[in-house]
Structure 1
């Protein structure tokens, strides 16, 4: 039995450790009926390891690569060149040469070959590593084949391969190399086929690139190609390119670029029947591998040959469905201002919270599906209602403008119009359930005294919290998990019934103030100030309370120095030990008693709370001390309240000067009073949810400690990688497969790198739309949510715990949730990648009176930290006023 060579029929997908990704895929392809693969063999990874071990310096050179800075082109070039030259100087051991010669003769000593590298970290589901090593075409002769094998081994250390492994977390010693030696095919046409559209992600559309000659020129980007798209055996699109050159094989070996004659340059490379035939082959290959494929193919005579197939690693995962109907899914993370990946327990908790789409309160809702570590809401059942199809695109922009426009675009498509979901009529019971809420909103708008609304909501929330705490403390074990599931399922109905009449009235009065101002006065000039500093907003109160902590700290230099180097585990003991620590301790304790359950990404139960990572607030405290005078934050809030009152008075005076002005002013006065009295309730539902999630997290960690003590789990935090039903089963059986934790941790790390789409179909198509604002050249467009214009220094902040801001900076962030509130008093403007008119950042920006633009795609990448920018919160535009301050 050969130890250094394996022929394609001997190889399958499980041979990856011996023949690398490319070799394993080729072997697997050769087993698929109806798929023609040119014959060949693989020089195994054992040959590579035995080859490199013949030298004395390989280990030292390998170790030196670990110290290379992948951002330094000079270091990469120097280190890579040393390693390649070393390997090219080594002789191939005789036993390896003998097996390669024998395989070459058996496959055809008179044939030409393609010699390709095949690394063990290549063509993988999580990372393609495509193009990192070298390929040699039209190789003829025994000596040339052996030399190409050695050059492939050396190409494991090309500059690009070294950098790519470093960036993707692969150690240089973890990757081994096989070499594929395959008989050449000399085609008339060749190209690449994606069995899913690589641009939109649609899994039903095959995209084919085709050009004349060898496909290596197309893969390398040297030539243009025709583009064809096929769906359900129908040719959707043909885009014929001007093909000026082709790569062909030279008789003596090697390849050459040749010019294509004039008329042939614009000729269609593949005939229509061949396009459909090739797409069918692609579907067969995809079905065999079970995932979308990136396929290299060629056509010689009438025969299609498959030269390679690898998984497409750039597609966002598709939420699962159980039928053939076209579904539309929307992200729940974008409106919630939390687009990060969720751990399994966080996903399970949120799916349990949703009261619809499940058979029992303890179950997880089918309306929410996980994809890429995020949760997506299946809108398809709702779209069956004609009224919902009309109203939903108008309501969604309140949460996220681009989300609303995406849904509108989907509903307006001809294919959806031609076959919409079976129409449903609103259930009478559903109308009856919704009526009290609608009536409550109307009553709050038309009623007279709302001054006690926030206090009543606070009393209600506190009572519910106490009751849930008592319920959780009364039980343990599996019964406690059942209680947790029941409490989670009750949270939305309970808080919605109490809060939505207040919050809904606040939102509607805001829109009515804006609409009536435009109708009666021709503008809404006072609108910006009217929302400033309303009473009762728990998130604003939290920001003010943190300012009080900063004021307590500012007069104690030793405490300030301590905070700069404090650690979470020793935070409290260390604070008590420094001069002044005892004096500021009550301020810290009071703040964490009231708000310690909060944090960034707080809808994910598994994310750290401020109580658990107190140092995450240190940057905000220090920035506050640096940028504000003592008490300035409280003064600014009172000034905002005064400004709002003056703006309201101006608006009413202007109205009184119009026809029937007395009645208009009276009506407007009522709207303003209602809006300001109730808009503070906007943050209460989330605050209520977070308080309860904190109770549940503590209870789960208590149960996790018991599982650790019983040997079921290794660490209490391992419970974050389980769903609620799995936790209950582990408690009942006292068993759990710990290997699943490692698998899920790896998936989470892959998912964390993905950019989640706002809207995606069950076919995998990501729906993309442009913002409503018309961007000027060089400007970025988004949704205008807080009027005004400001210029300043951009502070691009990805994580709150790393925030460094000065007063007057413009905050640029992926999103902001209540955990980011401490930064708002410092910010002169706000730019976020997600959000809508009534999401957290927008509401708080209006309260502070700072211009804000949300829904700016890739804002944190397109704007560089330190750049001077202009934020136009009236038109929804962000202009970059100066070049990147650090282009390196």
Structure 2
């Protein structure tokens, strides 16, 4: 079949029906009121050109020789191709199918004939306006004529240029065509499920005019604008334009019509119609589980959905909401350069894998050495829209999850397979000798490339984990109501993580020391630096300790590899061990079994509340939550192996720069940019220019490290006084505790952390986990339910409250607080 109805399941295939056609088919099959029509598939396009050697040769040759620099020449090449298309004839088989589909409509029906390229309305490219659309077309011959024009528009110069810009192969471009019954609209326009002008996610923005929607879409006419509440669809504000013209149907297409003066300044939509449009927009957003803009039309009081697209662009709004947990401290320019590159490559790769719209812009950016997140982008991709899942039947819900996110089962297996290659690459690079500057530069390239390839799917892991947590939370809220937080905490505690394994190894070392009176005495007597120097005196412990570092020495102290790892700073590990010496080892061992029993009993308790046929679906959901929680932790553990290699590369380059007199400390290379190193290597800049950049960047870095970054870039933070009674954040782990707070700024505070204190930090990472064994509760300035601090607190049954802004300024060591992990609040008792 070369032609498919909107209602045909095959019509939802983008490769067969193009972006616009597949989208209309999906919306039709989902039950939305879409005007009827059919799709001339890519197969028809292929058959249309396959028997003409001339046009096949033109496409093949021009695909390689298009002149993208000379627009006049490109337009001439484009015109030759398009004119050749219009000379071709349709085959008899196609015409027979076409006539069968057309006869289902009244002979006086007007149609729109729209291009639907296989590269149009993709998640990675919108192609807005790149191909042709024809409106109000009557009669068989006219429709066929404009189908040819749509085929030819694949080779419009603007479409050719757009494909080149997006790095698509010209020869792989194909065209489908949508033939759709026209709505003779009384009113039409567009609607956005979030307000992209004000960056409001609680508002729907609607533009409208009399007549067809082209007057709104083209942006050439004055139109009405309405802001509607997303919660109850009530009208919040409106701008009623002086609407002088609209576009209406005409016998030969469309035409402009002057609007009567008495109608020009009155709203073209009633509040009731606004509610209907807003609800339709929200329903489409729910279906796609992503913010959408839609084109709509009203004819004779009937509302029709004409088109829907994902909203992927909002103005940047830089905050520390998303970045403070990942990047709590200042970052050197060199580190951020390669992290920024790898992160955004991963973002594009991961979103494509997850079938999410492509994001074009910066997700994270560095300002004054602190990393900020583009909060509007974060909200749009991570929190906007409904999950698009019906929880009335869990078996059906599981099917919906797998349909919407087919990568969920495959990603963990794929990642584990790729891990082998990554670890082999790590091993090869660890053993590589760097004998000269050329080898050092090449080594740096190899490290960055290895890390970039390894990291590509890793954003998908954390995003999927977040998605699964949202699904589990939503389901538990519907099942047990207010008790959902209690059950959620238990069902997201796992002892099998890599971080848990590292902690067990630390506990084993601590227990070994406690059982040896001499070693215990030594550890009580000396600080960690002194113990590091004396380690050679402790033969058995030394072997165990070096074995631990051989396995886990790549663990980071700080995200930035400018700082040493555990293997280069063993005293940090010794501080952690000292914190564990007072642990109740027997109790900890018993708790592990207790947690497993509690998980098992809790799961069975929830099973008893569910119909038997839902048990499999719920069990699968829990398995996926566990899989991705452990995978996210393992991914972080393996990623930090790169730190040792990055330090090896930068030290080697740094030593070369020391010989040249550019710097005195090899690690000062971290204060230059990667492009600067490449430019110097290629002889584009002098050593003096490198030296000046390093000096400038280092001074700025050191100055910025002493500052507390504004939470919202460009705004002054409102610092609350210490006598504020209640601090509100986000619940991270259930439970209530009262105790004195202790602020941990860095590893330097580990050794002095008091037993049973409330841990307060900007954020925590896996290397901080031993602190939790001594803590009574946890407060952080950033993070949420998925953060390391929250996950670890749940594992250890400690109450935790995350995202308390300015907690490090408001709270002081020794302050008495009550931490309520159930409500996400901290009460200052002093």
State the TM-score, normalizing by the size of structure 1: 0.49
Residue 744 of structure 1: aligned partner:
697
Query: Aligned-pair distance for 1:806?
Result: 4.9
SS at match of 1:756: coil
Residue 366 of structure 2: aligned partner:
370
Residue 810 of structure 1: aligned partner:
758
Residue 352 of structure 1: aligned partner:
341
Q: How does 1:643-658 map to 2 (within 5 A)?
A: 643-653=598-608, 655-656=609-610
Q: Distance in 1 between matches of 2:825 and 2:334?
A: 39
Distance 1:750 1:462, change over 3 A: same
SS at match of 1:870: strand
Structure 2 residue 552 is matched with structure 1 residue 552: no
Query: Aligned-pair distance for 1:880?
Result: 1.7
Residue 735 of structure 1: aligned partner:
687
Which runs of no fewer than 5 residues in structure 2 stay unpaired?
A: 1-313, 349-360, 387-401
Corresponding residue pairs, total: 483
Q: Cα deviation per residue 1:695-736 (whole Å; 9 max; x = unaligned)?
A: 121122133223334544322222222222333455566834
Contact 2:733 2:794 in 1 (8 A): yes
Q: How does 1:393-404 map to 2 (within 5 A)?
A: 393-394=383-384
Query: Aligned-pair distance for 1:624?
Result: 0.9
Larger relative contact order (Cα-Cα within 8 Å, sequence gap ≥ 6)? 1
Q: Distance in 2 between matches of 1:667 and 1:357?
A: 30
Query: Which of 700, 710, 716 is 1:757 aligned to?
Result: 710
Contact 1:484 1:696 in 2 (8 A): yes
Q: Cα deviation per residue 1:213-249 (whole Å; 9 max; x = unaligned)?
A: xxxxxxxxxxxxxxxxxxxxxxxxxxxxxxxxxxxxx
Q: Distance in 1 between matches of 2:732 and 2:702?
A: 34
Structure 2 residue 492 is matched with structure 1 residue 531: yes
Contact 1:812 1:859 in 2 (8 A): yes
Q: Distance in 1 between matches of 2:784 and 2:599?
A: 22
Query: Which of 535, 556, 573 is 1:617 aligned to?
Result: 573
Query: Aligned-pair distance for 1:592?
Result: 1.0
Contact 2:323 2:372 in 1 (8 A): no
Query: Aligned-pair distance for 1:854?
Result: 0.7
Structure 2 residue 541 is matched with structure 1 residue 584: yes
Residue 798 of structure 1: aligned partner:
745
SS at match of 2:764: coil
Q: Distance in 1 between matches of 2:622 and 2:437?
A: 51
Structure 2 residue 423 is matched with structure 1 residue 465: yes
Query: Aligned-pair distance for 1:340?
Result: 1.4
Q: Distance in 1 between matches of 2:783 and 2:498?
A: 20
Residue 439 of structure 1: aligned partner:
406
Q: Distance in 2 between matches of 1:677 and 1:358?
A: 21
SS at match of 1:790: strand
Residue 662 of structure 1: aligned partner:
612
Residue 338 of structure 1: aligned partner:
327
Query: Which of 664, 673, 696 is 1:723 aligned to?
Result: 673
Distance 1:439 1:479, change over 3 A: farther
Query: Aligned-pair distance for 1:390?
Result: 4.7
Query: Aligned-pair distance for 1:474?
Result: 7.5
Query: Which of 791, 804, 820 is 1:856 aligned to?
Result: 804
Contact 2:323 2:364 in 1 (8 A): no
Contact 1:780 1:856 in 2 (8 A): yes
Q: Distance in 2 between matches of 1:501 and 1:720?
A: 29
Distance 1:527 1:591, change over 3 A: same
Q: Distance in 1 between matches of 2:757 and 2:572?
A: 20
Q: Distance in 2 between matches of 1:698 and 1:378?
A: 32
Query: Which of 516, 531, 542 is 2:475 aligned to?
Result: 516
Contact 1:597 1:694 in 2 (8 A): yes
Q: Distance in 2 between matches of 1:503 and 1:567?
A: 38
Query: Aligned-pair distance for 1:393?
Result: 4.8
Query: Aligned-pair distance for 1:831?
Result: 0.4
Distance 1:735 1:570, change over 3 A: farther
Contact 2:816 2:828 in 1 (8 A): yes
Query: Aligned-pair distance for 1:605?
Result: 1.6
Contact 1:548 1:631 in 2 (8 A): no
Contact 1:791 1:868 in 2 (8 A): yes
Q: Distance in 2 between matches of 1:592 and 1:825?
A: 21
Contact 1:810 1:827 in 2 (8 A): yes
Q: Distance in 2 between matches of 1:368 and 1:789?
A: 35
Distance 1:507 1:344, change over 3 A: closer
Q: Distance in 1 between matches of 2:475 and 2:369?
A: 44
Which runs of no fewer than 5 residues in structure 1 stay unpaired?
A: 1-324, 360-364, 383-387, 397-434, 445-452, 884-888
Contact 1:441 1:501 in 2 (8 A): no
Q: Distance in 2 between matches of 1:493 and 1:344?
A: 21
Q: Distance in 2 between matches of 1:716 and 1:810?
A: 39
Structure 2 residue 428 is matched with structure 1 residue 481: no
Deviates more, 1:839-848 or 1:698-707: 698-707
Residue 637 of structure 2: aligned partner:
687
SS at match of 1:370: strand
Q: Distance in 2 between matches of 1:630 and 1:441?
A: 38
Query: Which of 561, 576, 597 is 2:554 aligned to?
Result: 597
Query: Aligned-pair distance for 1:779?
Result: 0.9
Q: How does 1:496-511 map to 2 (within 5 A)?
A: 496-497=456-457, 499=458, 503-511=462-470
Q: Calculate the aligned-residue CA RMSD, in Å.
A: 4.0
Deviates more, 1:791-800 or 1:725-734: 725-734
Distance 1:817 1:533, change over 3 A: same
Distance 1:529 1:807, change over 3 A: farther
Query: Aligned-pair distance for 1:745?
Result: 2.9
Contact 1:534 1:676 in 2 (8 A): no
Query: Which of 764, 777, 781 is 1:829 aligned to?
Result: 777
Contact 1:544 1:634 in 2 (8 A): no
Residue 820 of structure 1: aligned partner:
768
Query: Aligned-pair distance for 1:583?
Result: 1.5
SS at match of 2:770: helix
Query: Aligned-pair distance for 1:574?
Result: 2.1
Distance 1:353 1:488, change over 3 A: farther
SS at match of 1:878: strand
Residue 172 of structure 2: aligned partner:
none
Distance 1:391 1:869, change over 3 A: same
Query: Aligned-pair distance for 1:785?
Result: 1.9
Query: Which of 728, 738, 750 is 1:781 aligned to?
Result: 728
Q: Distance in 2 between matches of 1:769 and 1:391?
A: 30
Q: Distance in 2 between matches of 1:791 and 1:551?
A: 28
Query: Aligned-pair distance for 1:665?
Result: 3.4
State the TM-score, normalizing by the size of structure 2: 0.52
Query: Aligned-pair distance for 1:869?
Result: 1.7
Contact 1:358 1:366 in 2 (8 A): no
Q: Distance in 2 between matches of 1:341 and 1:469?
A: 30
Query: Aligned-pair distance for 1:606?
Result: 0.5
Query: Aligned-pair distance for 1:786?
Result: 1.5
Contact 2:740 2:817 in 1 (8 A): yes
Residue 197 of structure 1: aligned partner:
none
SS at match of 1:825: helix
Q: Cα deviation per residue 1:575-611 (whole Å; 9 max; x = unaligned)?
A: 112xxx1121122112211221223322x12012122
Q: Distance in 1 between matches of 2:433 and 2:326?
A: 35
Query: Aligned-pair distance for 1:355?
Result: 3.9
